[in-house]
Amino acid sequence: MDLLNYAFMQRALLAAVLVGITAPAVGIYLVQRRQALMGDGIGHVAMTGVGLGFLLSWSPVWMATAVSVLGAVIMELIRWYGRTRGDIALAMLFYGGMAGGVMFINLAPSGSNANLTSYLFGSLSTVSESDVTAICLLAAFVVAVTVGLRRQLFAVSQDEEFARVTGLPVRALNLLTAVTAAVTVTVAMRVVGLLLVSALMVVPVAAAQQLSRSFAATFAIAVAIGVTVTIGGTVTSYYQDVPPGATIVLLTIAAFLALGVLAAPLARRRARALAAAHPGGDPAECTIPATRSPGGEVGV
């Protein structure tokens, strides 16, 4: 493949693989918590960090990481204490983050609308060596959290009250999930773009859930889908000269639809197998439900 002869494409493909791993790895917990749009909100806030990076002549990736982590913490605090006015506070945070980013990047001597567009929708040619270094370090943190603490995060995502009773630090784990989501947004923004990163965090997980009911299998399938579509979108963007972020998201949606078609006969086969396993017995709704262990694993 001739695209591997170019250094910028080597960097772009490495970044794409890391994004394909980290986005679904965090997204599976957000989907379980019914916070599928959290990544979109953090993306708005991260724009202020990008603008500040240009204004202060610092790395936009690291500045966006700092600002988005702060924004994620504020979002969690609003969720805990905001109550009835929480949605208004979140709306102001999201819109203020986007407006601040636009303002700062236009005030910066080296800022321009072209810079803004590359961060909003992704750009292959602008992924620098320093960006790749930052993405690798941030991706390592995301993988360490999502895999190393998978049992605890799963327990909290499924049932906060149960997790609290078992002694898990629910608020600390919720905060860690929010921070990890913020880091993932900045990992993905150079490839997918801030406005589209939420789709890569959610759609692969939704596609994987159509094929599997277990957490481990869903996690693995979602990551496999993420890596496949990010590499496919990056290669397609190079050869067809189309926006990488939009291409990746459209491929992700196509994968969701294709797996949906495959999942229908699979679901019917499962239903027949269940009926054969309980001939004349109790219906599925009357069977003993699974229980959770203190570690968060599902068992019977």
Query: What are the CA-CA distances from residue 271 to residues 259, 265, 279, 284 (Å)?
Result: 18, 10, 12, 10
| Tokens at 246, concatenated | 């939009």
Strand, coil or helix: what is 292?
Answer: strand
In this structure, what token pair is assigned to residue 106? 């236009």
- For residue 190, the SS3 value is coil
Distances in Å between the Cα of 276 and the Cα atoms of 21, 131, 282, 284 are 38, 55, 12, 12
Per-residue pLDDT of the chain (300 residues; tens, 9 = 90+): 677 888 888 988 999 999 999 999 999 999 888 887 788 888 889 999 999 998 988 888 899 999 999 998 988 888 777 665 567 777 888 888 889 888 998 888 876 666 778 888 888 777 888 888 999 999 999 999 999 999 999 999 888 888 889 889 988 999 999 999 999 998 888 888 888 888 999 999 999 998 887 889 999 999 999 999 999 999 998 888 888 889 999 999 999 999 888 877 766 676 676 666 666 555 544 444 444 444 444 443
Indicate the residue type of 44. Answer: H
